[in-house]
Amino acid sequence: MAGRWTNDLDWKDVTPRAALLNRRQILAGGAALAASGFAGQAVAQTSPYSTDAEPTSFEDITSYCNYYEFGTGKSDPSDNAGQLTTSPWTVKVDGLVDNPGDYALADLLDGLTVEDRIYRFRCVEAWSAVIPWNGIELADILERVGVQDGAKYVAFETLLRPEEMPGTRFPVLDWPYREGLRLDEAMHPLTIMATGLYGMPMPNQNGAPIRLVVPWKYGFKSIKSIVRITLTEDEPPTSWNMANAREYGFYSNVNPEVDHPRWSQASERQIGGGLFSQRKPTLMFNGYEDQVASLYDGMDLTANF
């Protein structure tokens, strides 16, 4: 089988072509990628879940990153993640599931539909981007492994491999990086496991070979390079919450009305716009309010930040 995630083409080989991609080509990307033999049968249609905002350039998305396992500077991931071995890749699935096991990534994803999803992306640090992801709905993967009654949360873990991840030699966070979602958030069709962006395999610095994307939550919820998925009854511990519970809640839904203790969340700076680009207002649930607000009916979003 020839799924996109099994492709061993290095993203660096295709950067010049990527830099030329414009939005029309992204939308026509299905045909173009199929013609290039790149993406097998799994190339998608334009999704109703996609924004029509102009995507941030490939160059900006791949050079301004947060991936603390490779260092805390914005260019550390692009400088240091090239050495990460992403194949073979095994994902452990455990906890309250019918089919637990250590899955080769290609087996876990085999036959599932890879969709193009152009999503707004908002970091808790108040920068933002528009990213054309390629990914599989997490719900499809969870259905495959069989969620058992009693499961209420999904926990995720990132690879911890100090030989290849220089940042993990420092106790910046309690490694491995851990994140979690409530099961209904995980099952929401906006929630994807991304295997690529701009129609290319996921660049290492953006979380190769597979990372979570939850577009209505602050970016740190979108955990990279996932090696473990656990279905649990109790809310799982999460890295940023463990590091500073006062500043980083479990939910971390984008909310312009609830400020971070050290800065306002009312507006954001879109990356790639240059030093003097204007800030724009941050939207409730990052603009996904119509789709996700009902998940939080009756919840106090200030207390459950």
Ligand X SMILES: Nc1nc2c(c(=O)[nH]1)N[C@H]1C(S)=C(S)[C@@H](COP(=O)(O)O)O[C@H]1N2
Question: By the criterion CB under 6 A, which residues form the site for ligand X?
Answer: 65-69, 123, 158, 177, 206-207, 219-220, 222-225
* DSSP element (H, E) containing 17: helix 15-20
Query: Is the dihedral angle over the CA atoms 135, 133, 294, 299 positive or is it negative?
Result: positive
With CB under 5 to 8 Å by kind, the binding choice for 265 among Mo ion, ligand X, none is none
Q: Is 154 left (phi over 0), alpha (psi -120 to 50) or beta?
A: beta
Q: Does 220 contact Mo ion by CB under 5 A?
A: yes
Figure out which of the listed residues 219, 231, 265, 270 binds Mo ion, where binding follows CB under 5 A: 219
Compare residues 103 and 220 and give the one whose CB is closer to Mo ion.
Answer: 220
Tokens found for residue 93: 């699935």
Query: Which stretch, 65-73, 82-90, 113-121, 274-282, contacts Mo ion (CB under 5 A)?
Result: 65-73
With CB under 5 to 8 Å by kind, the binding choice for 158 among ligand X, Mo ion, none is ligand X
Query: Which stretch, 61-69, 74-82, 146-154, 178-186, contacts Mo ion (CB under 5 A)?
Result: 61-69
Tell me the three state secondary structure of residue 53: coil
With CB under 5 to 8 Å by kind, the binding choice for 223 among ligand X, Mo ion, none is ligand X
Identity of residue 196: G
Compare residues 217 and 228 and give the one whose CB is closer to Mo ion.
Answer: 217
Residues in the chain: 305
At its nearest, how many Å lie between ligand X and the CB of residue 34?
Answer: 26
Tokens found for residue 82: 């090239």
Tokens found for residue 302: 């200030």
With CB under 5 to 8 Å by kind, the binding choice for 224 among ligand X, Mo ion, none is ligand X
Q: Is 83 left (phi over 0), alpha (psi -120 to 50) or beta?
A: alpha
Q: Does 248 contact Mo ion by CB under 5 A?
A: no
* Gyration radius of the chain's alpha carbons: 18
At its nearest, how many Å lie between Mo ion and the CB of residue 115?
Answer: 24
Instruction: Tell me the sheet residues that pair with 229.
Output: 93, 156
Residues that bind Mo ion (CB under 5 A): 66, 123-124, 219-220
